[in-house]
Structure 1
């Protein structure tokens, strides 16, 4: 739905919301990408606004908050702010960092025209609001010095210390490395920052403050950059702030991101919320008064306030849950803050006596906190005139954690080691380290982190009663990897509430989960379709990748050895040093990597064998990509069919032991095995350079799937007779597909499991004995 459609849907009460993607303002360069979600958001009592009268909204006042006339960016303002909680000698160090940064940024200006030093001071003031320690504030003032000036990290370490230099370097982008695309660059910078964060959590706090001030002043940027940065803020940085429990920064980032990415929607929704609140001003005041009066009667000292519902949260509910504006139950929200946990539950009893609770809308985050440490009691009640209201009940300490999150636990209060990571984030940071270790590249790591940043939590228990928090939709596989990667890699089935279930079963809150393992078990490729956590996905991909590399290296050795056999040699006749030296010539880091490249089809085994047999040859090393060759190996490579991920049996002809076969190199994937009569082999000569002569080993093992087509008389019991015959011949049916019916006959396609061509022949003989069977054909598509 376009911006105009959304505006009309919020404004109109009497007609259905506009549907579709029509967006009359899309010609405006400031118009963002369309949101395909259909929103039915009608406010009772509002009047329709014709699309022709809708004009682009004025720039939100908050985006100019730091650059309006009279706003001060002086270091003296920051120092005055710090006098409330830092000693004088630490404030002096912060001032020294300011002098260094101001000199380094001398002559530089931001896009808005203001001196560049204003930005580092503003970032430090945001962190000062969180009462961060003095070294974190010094790093905030210096955070752009390495990236935007000739100053080196070593110089900061010399003038200040290594701790501050590491903090600054963690926030700085990679400027010396050249990347192929902007996406790769952003992913690499993000990966570098997150790795630095696992060493010192203050790195991400500085980055969040930096992003918040940039979003406040984003109005001067070109529309495309505003949209890109806003999308990044909503996708990555606001969720990180939420994961660390820093609610004040999260709400600000979401509001700025929403207003810049979808300015129309922010403008219209903000007006609608203001109108609703103004229309119910007396009701809101009466609810506050009633709650406060009831608590005073019971001798409970509490702070009762109306809670502003966040615009972006309302928008997301309308978009994701398909709710209309009038159906949002918690637009009218109140917060009660008391002195202790015991008092929280006393307040809960009083408000439930005052107003009737809405069934199913009670959540106790005190007993089971959220993964970011958030604690509070949430309850929804039927208020005056039947209007639903939400009430949050928490203690003063809980409120501090809810607003400042990990910053509220900072160790300046206890005089501890500043670089130490608070326990609140330790599990998540450990998970990030494992994700980074198991991810193949920075872009894959970024993908996994994004997945983990949007959880709708499910709370499950280990057999010992330990709570594990997982995203909604998580399976027993995700739970296994949350316990330990080894348990995930060897898991075979799960016990949920003492009942055995498949390991891909979806979990629900309150369940007790136990994983049964087997030493020989390994992750399966299809698990990637079920898992939802980044940790599980990264571990599975990493295991499969390593397994493929091992299988490819084994196959590559066999292929080279097969080629050497034609000239009377073998790999045993060539020294390991000679093989390693040649591997280095091919730009491979080791012999195993070179053989893996051969097994994956990226190098021709014939060329490698020729160079290994003639080490003094002046020929250039073979190219890393497959090229046609004019000769074919006379020696056939024997395969068992159990070579793993680097040997593929395609569905076009489904070869089985006993068939005459050949292989084609598929660069990056290995060898694809075809029957010789398969039309996908194409012209022999045209594909001769990728051809591999294959034969079946003497004793292949395991089941192989092949496909047969059976034409039968269209009579009752035909399918049952065929299935019985197949089972009696020692085979299983993997799949059945009914084809067309014509002339009293039906066509059925069967995928069956066989051990060999002889086994298939026995099955076909048994099927031909059935009177209803008219014709049997083995398929080769």
Structure 2
């Protein structure tokens, strides 16, 4: 563990003007606050923030970031507060510490909700200041280095999986490949211990048997380049185990079939030498077609720049080669963090775009599972390049479609997409894009995102935006039904309902807008009596003296039952007055009333059968319909109008199937009797908006 003076000296080496007193205060503060707390390894807890601060000095980050690293766990794990941090170390450090700190209120949430809420807060803080991410990555890297001390294997697995899914890809997105590789290696060891052990043993065996082959190949390359007058540094290594395992999984091959296990890096003096070196390699050894990538002329989103190629060395050995300048290498290994050594107050180019996409995903995601899914999709980095007709370049994941491309250009363009041209030809929206494709999006102001798109889009941004748009559309349609039903409810109160009464009702119901109330009514989330009472307080008092069957809205009586015996209408067949009915009575239970032709009566063969009929005052029961509508604007509203014209109350509305261009709903209706239900079915079947309607 770094001592106090050693940490300060490290910072002063690259930043002589750093506030030494503040750094000393931060070191002492974290030691005092964490006190006697210990880690799973048995080390004092404060050793962890000190080591994270040491990692930040390796990146030559500013004094506020070093102080944040020292203090990042004090608010979460001690009695210190953000206000204390601000009073002692200033607003900037307090803001950064708050960004890294986990919310205390989420500790009691279910695992996925806790992870999602933590990620949501972290992404929002990161969008304000990238240093939050740098400290968080340092924190996670040190935790991974000590993960083996945690005794519970399920906890190690959870942390490793979270690292592999979220933090290693985030490190890659900002170009911190050293962090990414080490995180992947440590997580892989926990997630796939057998595979890790097997691959590392095979690599050790190759290393012991190759007789210096890696060094020999590197020397051959260096000599070939020197003869061409190019001064270079050449180094070689075996790929790390996770990279090999991923190739085995992707290609469905064994270890022996992975031919490109060796990778070489060539460092040149300038960019022109990089291209000259590439030419020398391609003329000296055979290169593999399709394996050349020029990330110098077209850098990755994270700023990564290098030439990549694959060669056949000797008769059959495949080797990968990366060619770059020394400055590119420094920026490639530490990415955005490397920029901070030189321009600590400027946001590096390339950061804004993908961070903006992540924040859009945070805003659009509906629940924790969606947020985690969309974020993982957004930060993985296996990319292709596509162009707009005007030449603007966009990077997308492999498998991306024109819809993904449209949402990458702008969310509004994605929402208005109706077609696409790829390289000048009209192509289906589900077509997968290839490197270099020119994509022209055809749009319409009248278009809306389609649920069916979720079957082929691959970007988190597109999925989040589509789901949000579909939810809003469904909400508007349900609210339209609710408005029709509200008008009926308003007719049943002893007063004329105007805008003032509606405003007061919203206050009593603790709702913001009319649409909130209409949606609650349409979705059967609020009872009619509650709405009536909110509109005119006290107007339902006269209903309190009605019999129980009237209060429930079901004026039902059944003949053939023993007095005092309770009954319930079966959910399987939903009998309504006018149906022929039979009762099933099991020992110790009430009577369940079924229609005579109910398919489930066979299961009641061991029960007592009762011959029943409806009483004289039987009016009102719940009937269930299955209605398939054409999936176009206004169809739900037309169905609601039919219900309103037939004076029926909707008690439940559930979308059960979406098969474009049809949407199917199951709807529970309070009807008077069979003739009433039959009239409703006839009206539905006569409507141009309804494809099919039947009683369940």
Query: TM over 0.5, yes or no?
Result: yes
Report the equivalent of 1:137: 66
Q: Distance in 2 between matches of 1:522 and 1:171?
A: 38
1:505 aligned onto 2:434: no
1:192 aligned onto 2:121: yes
1:630 aligned onto 2:554: yes
> C-alpha displacement at 1:552, in angstroms?
2.0
Report the equivalent of 1:705: 691
Is the contact made by 2:404 and 2:458 (CA closer than 8 Å) also made in structure 1? yes
1:488 to 396, 414, 418: 414
1:612 to 515, 518, 535: 535
1:593 to 516, 519, 536: 516
Stretch of structure 1 that moved more, 84-93 or 201-210:
84-93
1:321 aligned onto 2:228: no
Stretch of structure 1 that moved more, 351-360 or 190-199:
351-360
**1:195-235 per-position Cα deviation (integer Å, ceiling 9, x unaligned):** 10000011111111101111111111121211111111111
> C-alpha displacement at 1:699, in angstroms?
13
Is the contact made by 1:663 and 1:694 (CA closer than 8 Å) also made in structure 2? no
Q: Against the structure 1 CA distance between its residues 619 and 283, is the aligned structure 2 distance closer, same or farther, given a 3 Å change threshold?
A: farther
> 2:231 is paired with a residue of what secondary structure?
coil
1:544 to 456, 470, 474: 470
> 1:521 is paired with a residue of what secondary structure?
coil
Report the equivalent of 1:273: 203
Q: Against the structure 1 CA distance between its residues 245 and 462, is the aligned structure 2 distance closer, same or farther, given a 3 Å change threshold?
A: same
> C-alpha displacement at 1:565, in angstroms?
3.8
Report the equivalent of 2:148: 219
Is the contact made by 2:385 and 2:396 (CA closer than 8 Å) also made in structure 1? yes
Report the equivalent of 1:666: 652
Alignment gaps of 5+ in structure 2 = 545-550, 556-618, 622-627, 659-663
> C-alpha displacement at 1:178, in angstroms?
6.3
> 1:423 is paired with a residue of what secondary structure?
coil
Report the equivalent of 2:137: 208
Q: Against the structure 1 CA distance between its residues 667 and 588, is the aligned structure 2 distance closer, same or farther, given a 3 Å change threshold?
A: farther
Q: Distance in 1 between matches of 2:329 and 2:252?
A: 31
Is the contact made by 1:337 and 1:396 (CA closer than 8 Å) also made in structure 2? yes
Residue-pair matches, total: 609
1:395 aligned onto 2:318: no
> 2:290 is paired with a residue of what secondary structure?
strand
Q: Distance in 1 between matches of 2:647 and 2:211?
A: 81
1:147 aligned onto 2:76: yes
2:51 to 100, 113, 122: 122
> 2:442 is paired with a residue of what secondary structure?
strand
Q: Distance in 2 between matches of 1:512 and 1:428?
A: 21
Is the contact made by 1:496 and 1:512 (CA closer than 8 Å) also made in structure 2? yes
> 1:629 is paired with a residue of what secondary structure?
coil
> C-alpha displacement at 1:311, in angstroms?
1.0
> C-alpha displacement at 1:566, in angstroms?
5.7
> C-alpha displacement at 1:393, in angstroms?
0.7
Q: Distance in 1 between matches of 2:678 and 2:633?
A: 15
Residues 206-605 of structure 1 correspond to what in structure 2 (within 5 A)?
206-221=135-150, 222-410=152-340, 412-414=341-343, 416-417=344-345, 420-565=346-491, 573-605=496-528
1:105 aligned onto 2:34: yes
> 1:110 is paired with a residue of what secondary structure?
coil
Report the equivalent of 1:164: 93
> C-alpha displacement at 1:397, in angstroms?
1.6
Q: Distance in 1 between matches of 2:422 and 2:669?
A: 55
Q: Distance in 2 between matches of 1:671 and 1:307?
A: 54
Q: Distance in 1 between matches of 2:78 and 2:143?
A: 19
Is the contact made by 1:660 and 1:695 (CA closer than 8 Å) also made in structure 2? no
Alignment gaps of 5+ in structure 1 = 1-71, 622-626, 650-655, 673-677, 708-778
Is the contact made by 1:187 and 1:443 (CA closer than 8 Å) also made in structure 2? yes
**1:410-438 per-position Cα deviation (integer Å, ceiling 9, x unaligned):** 1x424x52xx4322311111111211222
> C-alpha displacement at 1:696, in angstroms?
8.0
**1:375-417 per-position Cα deviation (integer Å, ceiling 9, x unaligned):** 111111111242111111111121112100111111x424x52
**1:630-651 per-position Cα deviation (integer Å, ceiling 9, x unaligned):** 26789xxxx99766586799xx
Is the contact made by 1:102 and 1:117 (CA closer than 8 Å) also made in structure 2? yes
Q: Distance in 1 between matches of 2:381 and 2:92?
A: 33
Report the equivalent of 1:76: 5
> 1:96 is paired with a residue of what secondary structure?
helix
TM-score, normalised via structure 2 length = 0.80
Q: Against the structure 1 CA distance between its residues 139 and 599, is the aligned structure 2 distance closer, same or farther, given a 3 Å change threshold?
A: same
Is the contact made by 1:600 and 1:671 (CA closer than 8 Å) also made in structure 2? no
> C-alpha displacement at 1:662, in angstroms?
7.7
> C-alpha displacement at 1:292, in angstroms?
1.0
Q: Distance in 1 between matches of 2:301 and 2:638?
A: 43
> 1:334 is paired with a residue of what secondary structure?
strand
Q: Against the structure 1 CA distance between its residues 647 and 601, is the aligned structure 2 distance closer, same or farther, given a 3 Å change threshold?
A: farther
> C-alpha displacement at 1:273, in angstroms?
1.0
Stretch of structure 1 that moved more, 323-332 or 287-296:
323-332
> C-alpha displacement at 1:124, in angstroms?
0.8
> 1:507 is paired with a residue of what secondary structure?
coil
Q: Against the structure 1 CA distance between its residues 356 and 339, is the aligned structure 2 distance closer, same or farther, given a 3 Å change threshold?
A: same
**1:657-701 per-position Cα deviation (integer Å, ceiling 9, x unaligned):** 9x99988643565999xxxxx9x989988999xx99957889987
Q: Distance in 1 between matches of 2:669 and 2:480?
A: 29
**1:467-523 per-position Cα deviation (integer Å, ceiling 9, x unaligned):** 110111111111111111111111111111111223332211111111111111111
Q: Distance in 1 between matches of 2:386 and 2:177?
A: 25
Q: Against the structure 1 CA distance between its residues 94 and 330, is the aligned structure 2 distance closer, same or farther, given a 3 Å change threshold?
A: farther
> C-alpha displacement at 1:129, in angstroms?
1.2
Q: Distance in 1 between matches of 2:539 and 2:106?
A: 38
Is the contact made by 2:493 and 2:539 (CA closer than 8 Å) also made in structure 1? no
Report the equivalent of 1:32: none
> C-alpha displacement at 1:613, in angstroms?
5.0
